[in-house]
Amino acid sequence: MKGILQNIKGDKTIWAVVTLLGLFSFLPVYSASSNLVYVVGSGTTFGYLVKHALLLALGFGIIYGVHSIPARFFKGLSIIAMPIVLVLLAFTLAQGTTIDGANASRWISVPLVGISFQTSNLAAVVLMIYVARYLTKIKDKTVTFKESILPLWMPVFLVIALILPANFSTAGIIFSMVLLLCFLGGYPMKYLLGIIGTGMLSLTLFILTAKAFPGVFPNRVDTWSSRIESFTDGQDTEADYQIERAKIAIATGGIMGKGAGKSIQKNFLPQSSSDFIYAIIVEEYGLIGGIALMFFYLLLLFRIVIVAHSSPSIFGKLVALGVGLPIVFQALLNMAVAVELFPVTGQTLPLISSGGTSSWMTCLAIGIILSVSVKTSERAVSNAKVKIDENNPLEVLSGQL
């Protein structure tokens, strides 16, 4: 244990924020689990607590493991991982799982272990590293759009096309984050606008096809459109019910909140432990709790900016931002849904929600940011020994790129 603690490197504030959020997450998860146990009628509250603890422990294992890999290795890893991710995504989509007749092929179950795994989360992280790598590679060149199609947009569109039918919001977030990263990485603005246009066009096409031939592939188009409609119109729908409950939770929470575990609305909010956890947190810990939580995410954002700022390499900057900004963005989105600033998306609150394996991908991202934040001096020992270890394929790969 002591050894591990001594080996902790990188931005201490990020470590602190992540640990704090991780520990805090037990409270709302434990509280909200009573809904699953007594209303939905599955499992035991203690069971959910243990499960959450195990997931979180493994998550911290991932952070620790990943943060000790030097950041430059991720370039090579992303190239290796890209085809694997595409295969996994295709496999996931091919399963054809449906929820209420809509395509919900988001998970594959890991053999032997018996837990399900949301491949899109992994794909997002890998894709962001991949894009960061590409942007680093072209940093000194002036690329034409044609040149960038194959190495950049091909993989991006493949990933998004494989996620989109089952999970619109995740696909949307990934797409926006890729665009954001390209913007940060200096990819020409005119091309970006073109891509946005193409994206919109293909999305419209997809929706139209899906609407025209509902039997072709069971999709979630109807779910999205109904969610967006319910956000814009005044009719009573399931989503309105959730939003109303969430707002009741926020309103009754008041400034100080009702106290840990005393939420009432958790019994009525169907997704109280994931999608609407922020409303439950405000109900139990009040405006103060809600603002504090927001503060920690913004602190994380601030530290990510610092990490990017102090990273000596362009790749370091871009990869830290590429995997870091989506975390904060997703957190803000989750909160925005709870306060009815955004339609219901089904995005979890990173590091807090008991989102299962998706939290591991957040941990993976955190690990990468921490890896970037590790100062050259801290790795000096290992770097001094071997400039390029010829036996390490990653070293070779990274050196080449």
Partner 1 sequence: MPTNDKNIMTRLYVVTTCMFLFAFAVLFKLVNIQVVQGDKYKALAMKRTEKMFTIDPNRGNLYSDDGSLLATSVSRYTIRFDAVTVSDADFKKYIVPLSDALSGMLGSSSSHYQQLLRKAKAHKNRYALIARNLDYSEYMAVKDFPLFNRGPYKGGLIIEQKTVREHPLGKIAERSVGYEHVDDNGYYSGVGLERAFGPYLRGVEGKRLKQKIANNQWKPIGWDNIVEPKDGYDLVSTIDINIQDIAHHALLGQLEKYKADHGCVIVMETETGEVKAISNLGQTKDGKYYERLNYAIGESHEPGSTFKLMSLVAALEDKVIDTSAVIDTEKGRWRLYDRTVKDSKWGGYGKISLARAFEVSSNVAFAKMVHNNYKDDPSKYVNRLLKMNLGRQLDLPIKGEGKPVIRSPGDKGWSGISLAWMSYGYEVSLTPLQTLTFYNAIANDGEMVKPRLIKEVREWDQTIEKFDKEVISASICSKETAAMAQDLLKKVVEDEHGTGHKLYSPNFSMAGKTGTAQKNYASQDPDKLKYISTFAGYFPADEPKYSCIVVIHEPDKSVGYYGADVSGPVFKSIAQKVYATSPLTDEVDMDKMKDENLETSYQKYYVEAQKTYHKMPNVQGMSGMDAISILENLGIQVEVKGNGKVKKQSISHGTDLKNVHSITLELS
The residues binding partner 1 (CB under 8 A) are: 38-39, 135, 138-143, 180, 183-186, 188, 244, 247-248, 250-255, 264-265, 267-268, 282, 287, 290-291, 294, 297-298, 301, 305, 308-309, 314, 317-318, 321, 325, 328-329, 332, 335-336, 339-341
Residue closer to partner 1 by CB (options 58, 306) is: 306
Shorter beta-carbon distance to partner 1: residue 102 or 180? 180
Nearer to partner 1, 32 or 85 (CB): 32
Q: Are 133 and 78 in contact (CB under 8 A)?
A: yes
Nearest-approach distance from CB 128 to partner 1, in angstroms: 14
Asked if residues 368 and 319 have their Cβ atoms less than 8 Å apart, the reply is: yes
Residue 40 beta carbon to partner 1: minimum distance, rounded to whole angstroms: 9
CB closer to partner 1, 122 vs 135:
135
Q: Please name every residue paired with 116 in a beta bridge, in sequence order, or none if there are none.
A: 109
Under DSSP, is residue 98 helix (H, G, I), strand (E, B) or coil?
Answer: strand
- The nearer residue to partner 1, 139 or 375, going by C-beta atoms, is 139
Question: Taking the complex as a whole, how short is the minimal distance between the CB of residue 129 and partner 1, in angstroms?
Answer: 16
Q: How far is the CB of 112 from partner 1 (least distance, A)?
A: 29
Q: Which is nearer to partner 1, 163 or 321 (CB)?
A: 321
CB of 244 to partner 1, least distance (A): 7
Per DSSP, helices labelled H in 68-140 are: 73-95, 119-137
161 vs 401, which CB is nearer to partner 1? 401
Q: Which helix (H) or strand (E) holds 102?
A: strand 102-103
Q: Are strands 102-103 and 116-118 parallel, antiparallel or unpaired?
A: unpaired
350 phi and psi, to 5 degrees? -55, 140
Give the separation between CA 199 and CA 222, rounded to whole angstroms.
Answer: 19
Instruction: Give the position of tokens 């794909």.
Output: 123
| Residue-wise DSSP of 330-366 | HHHHHHHHHTTSS-------TTTS--TTHHHHHHHHH
CB of 185 to partner 1, least distance (A): 6
By beta-carbon proximity to partner 1, the closer residue of 336 and 397 is: 336
Burial of 335-366, coded b for 16+ CB within 10 Å and e otherwise, reads: bebbeeebbbbbbbbbbbbbbbbbbbbbbbbb
| Least spacing, CB of residue 322 vs partner 1, in Å | 11
DSSP per-residue codes, 122-141: HHHHHHHHHHHHHHHHTTTS
Question: Minimum distance from CB of 331 to partner 1 (Å)?
Answer: 9
At 401, the amino acid letter reads: L
